[in-house]
Amino acid sequence: MSLIHEVPKQSRLHKDLTGRTPAQVNAYWSRNVFTGLGQNPEVVSPIFFLTTIHK
């Protein structure tokens, strides 16, 4: 599950967790989807995400 794009926060999150920029992460998912090896993560709003994890 991925949050709707919050560019500065998302950029730092990707860099801290994966060592990649958002563009590199997007390229990774695009490549996997194109080759049939994966599916893009579901994109959700921050409110939905927070209410879902607190259940």
Say if residues 46 and 3 touch (Cβ distance below 8 Å): yes
Distance CA 52, CA 49 (A): 5
| Residue 55 banded pLDDT, cuts 50, 70, 90 | low
Which domain does 35 fall in, by range? 2-53
Q: What is the pLDDT of residue 35?
A: 93
**pTM over the 0.75 mark:** no
Query: How many distinct structural domains can be found in the chain?
Result: 1
Between 43 and 7, the higher pLDDT residue: 43
pLDDT digit string (tens) for 3-41?
A: 555 567 777 877 888 888 888 888 888 899 999 888 877
Q: What is the pLDDT of residue 6?
A: 56
